[in-house]
């Protein structure tokens, strides 16, 4: 099977949030889809290893903040490449509380759902949520997963439903040397040579230091 066909499916980029007790938490996701319009329902796929999964199980609710093309790309790394078990992902992030759940201010819209059913797979939980609130927050176009890869040059975490290991072809022509973030996969391709960047440089996606970049 040619797994590259999955790249032709369309996805968005979302921040899924819930509560750990009274503490807001969340993670980056791309597998959210509308199932019905009346009543409005959404399906969300969440890896078993994601801390947010267990929080949704406990609260019975989740919020979807829809990132736009103008959203700060560091939000993807803030919520996607570290665990809510260990850090407060909402630290220094602007958010509002809707129906008791946190939603990001820097998004083009939000949807709040209560869980009405779920399905377990070997690696993921698919939550079915009935929409109880939602609104548009900006007119900026929503960020697609293709935009995230092509323009922001980000990659999928290994626990993402859409993660596919990169394959190298025998016929691939070696490209010029590049510096890649070992945490999130961001490829530095600016005009200034990477070696000349100050030691204070951080990855624009996951905010990891310059020392986390490797030459390829």
The pLDDT value given to residue 160: 52
The pLDDT value given to residue 170: 41
Cβ neighbours of residue 105 closer than 8 Å, sequence gap 6 or more: 94, 95, 96, 137
Pair type for strands 95-98 and 179-181: unpaired
E strand or H helix at 58: helix 51-59
The pLDDT value given to residue 116: 98
Higher-confidence residue of 146 and 14: namely: 14
- CATH code of the region 12-150: 2.30.110.10
pLDDT tens-place string over residues 129-176: 999 999 999 999 999 888 877 776 655 555 555 544 554 434 444 456
Tell me the C-alpha to C-alpha distance, in Å, between residue 195 and each of 93, 183, 203, 207: 31, 19, 14, 18
Q: Model confidence at 216, in pLDDT bands (50, 70, 90)?
A: confident
Cβ neighbours of residue 60 closer than 8 Å, sequence gap 6 or more: 114, 115
Instruction: Report the topology of domain 179-215.
Output: Rubrerythrin, domain 2 (2.20.28)
How confident is the model over 62-85, as a mean pLDDT? Answer: 90
How confident is the model over 33-50, as a mean pLDDT? Answer: 95
pLDDT over 70 for what percent of the chain? 88
List the chain domain ranges. Answer: 12-150, 179-215
How confident is the model over 201-213, as a mean pLDDT? Answer: 86
The pLDDT value given to residue 185: 77
Q: Model confidence at 40, in pLDDT bands (50, 70, 90)?
A: very high
The pLDDT value given to residue 166: 52
Judge if pTM exceeds 0.85: no
Q: Is 40 helix (H, G, I), strand (E, B) or coil?
A: strand
Q: How many CB atoms lie within 10 A of CB 192?
A: 9
């Amino acid at each position: 099977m040619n797994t590259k066909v999955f790249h032709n499916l369309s996805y968005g980029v979302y921040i899924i949030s819930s509560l750990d007790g009274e503490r807001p938490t969340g993670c980056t996701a791309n597998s959210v889809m509308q199932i019905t319009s009346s009543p409005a329902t959404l399906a969300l796929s969440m890896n078993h290893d994601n801390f947010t999964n267990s929080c949704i199980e406990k609260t019975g609710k989740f919020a979807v903040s829809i990132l736009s093309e103008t959203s700060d790309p560091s939000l993807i790394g803030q919520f996607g490449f570290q665990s809510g078990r260990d850090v407060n992902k909402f630290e220094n992030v602007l958010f509002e509380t809707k129906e008791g759940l946190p939603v990001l201010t820097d998004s083009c819209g939000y949807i709040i759902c209560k869980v009405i059913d779920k399905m377990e797979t070997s690696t993921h939980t698919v939550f079915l949520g009935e929409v109880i609130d939602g609104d548009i927050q900006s007119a900026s176009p929503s960020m697609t997963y293709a935009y995230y890869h092509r323009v922001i040059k980000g990659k999928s975490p290994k626990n993402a439903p859409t993660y596919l290991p990169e394959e190298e072809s025998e016929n691939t022509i070696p490209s010029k040397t590049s510096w890649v973030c070992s945490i999130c996969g961001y490829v530095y391709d600016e005009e200034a040579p990477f070696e000349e960047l100050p030691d204070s440089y951080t990855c624009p996606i996951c905010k990891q230091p310059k020392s986390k970049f490797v030459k390829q």
